[in-house]
Chain A
Amino acid sequence: MRAVDLELVQRCQHGDAAAFEEVYRAHAGRLYSLVFRMAGSAYDAEDLLQEIFLHAYRKMASFRGDSSLGTWLYRLAVNHCLDVLRGRQAKMTRVTDSLDDDGAAEPASAMPVVPTAISRLDLERAIARLPAGCRAAFVLHDVEGFEHNEIAKLLGVSEGTSKSQVHKARMKLRAMLSGVTP
């Protein structure tokens, strides 16, 4: 753990209120970007971010420094997002099954159908429209850079299912960004 993290955590553990705000300021941006895309809406993302930091606040006393503070918070955020998504969908496996049954409309074209310059707003909107389970795997892999074996552990699915989810998400995005309703 970095010395600056260690000092910050120790200040938090000793009840330094300003230190916890420093933790928030330092990490809220990255965590919000994650939960924003995992949740699919700014409204849900802000609620999730609040819950994550409250959770971190309550667990701060038990933080041992085995990993960096950022990594610890990030894991906390990912797990909380997934818990919420699972709660919404009952079980991630059901999401997976439904996704597997849900054939995305694939534009059959001999020419690229996605504009070479995709606007970020269009892409964000398209990601938000992805089904929750499919979106989680896609965000973790394509946006956050997790490997499929890591996503498989996080989501509690097989590595093959993680790959399948990401593929489904990409195909759906292609359809959405080409103007074809998936």
Chain B
Amino acid sequence: MTCQEYDAYIDDYVDEVPSKGIPSKGILSDALRAQCEAHVSTCTHCRALTTDLRTIRMATRSLEPQVPSPQVWYRIAAAIEAEPHGIVSAWFGGWQQALAGAVAVVLIVSSLSWVGGHLAPAGRNRPASPISDASGAPPMDAAEFTLVEQQYTTAIAGLEDITKKERATLDADTAQVLQANLTVIDSAIGESRAALNQEPESTVAQESLVEALRNKVVLLQDTVALINAMQPADADTNTGLNQ
């Protein structure tokens, strides 16, 4: 078998690599497999290529599941809520009540999308993408910075309002950890504001403040997500959703 001939079978040959100790089902005939093995044993170039493709094949099989952010379900729930009544008439009622908190979160998250688009590196207010963390965000002028700061501040106020009302939903340990993190972030916000007061034109201080505000929004979003995650069982009990 020549390299060119082997090239026609290499993928099938690679696909026969055993998985978890169990041989894959035969793709090649015994005769072809023997010819491939014979070629690989004598051709260093094809052997190297085969080894690499098998390494990739094995690594691909071991890829772990990816997990969507909690916000996806809230967006779905909110979208269902907005469906025309003719389609979802049977879903109205308890569904509406149960989703009220989630919808509020979605609205707040949506209001932040403009902020994220103008200020934060793409995707910073959502779980970090494992693929790309390229920023490309242009620097802001003073007016834009002020506007962005106001947007964050408003969003934080809204989120804090929800978390204060629903704080009892969380267990004491979780609430304590969240509060400790909030204290750290608030401290960073205070230090950044102090630096900005001293040097209002400092882009480093601006970025520091915005980063701290963004961290607070993310933490509060996560807190609200936790609160919402705790609510369905209670909602079912309270509203008789399943009755």
Contact = CB atoms under 8 A, between A and B. Distances in A.
B172 interface: no
A109 B53 CA distance: 13
Contacts of B129: 41-43
Query: How many residues of B sit at the interface, in one of the four size bands?
Result: 35 or more
A116 interface: yes
Contact of A174 (B56, B91, B122, B131): B56
B62 A120 contact: yes
Interface stretch (A69-77, A151-159, A163-171): A163-171
Given A20-B80, A37-B63, A170-B57, 15 more contacts: A15-B91, A17-B98, A29-B67, A32-B68, A42-B130, A46-B126, A50-B72, A57-B83, A114-B51, A115-B55, A125-B131, A142-B57, A167-B10, A173-B56, A178-B52
A9 interface: no
8 contacts: A17-B94, A17-B95, A17-B241, A42-B130, A57-B76, A120-B59, A120-B64, A173-B56
A112 to B, nearest CB: 4
B76 A54 contact: yes
Interface string A39-66: 0111101100110011001100000000
B73 A54 contact: no
Contact of A110 (B44, B55, B87): B44
A48 B209 CA distance: 33
Contacts of A167: 10-11
B60 A112 contact: no
A120 B95 CA distance: 40
A177 B56 contact: yes
- Interface of B, secondary structure class, is helix
Contact of B72 (A17, A28, A125, A163): A28
Interface string B38-69: 00000011001101110111011111111111
A108 B43 CA distance: 13
Contact of A170 (B53, B68, B71, B83): B53
A3 interface: no
Nearest to B43: A110
B22 interface: no
A123 interface: yes
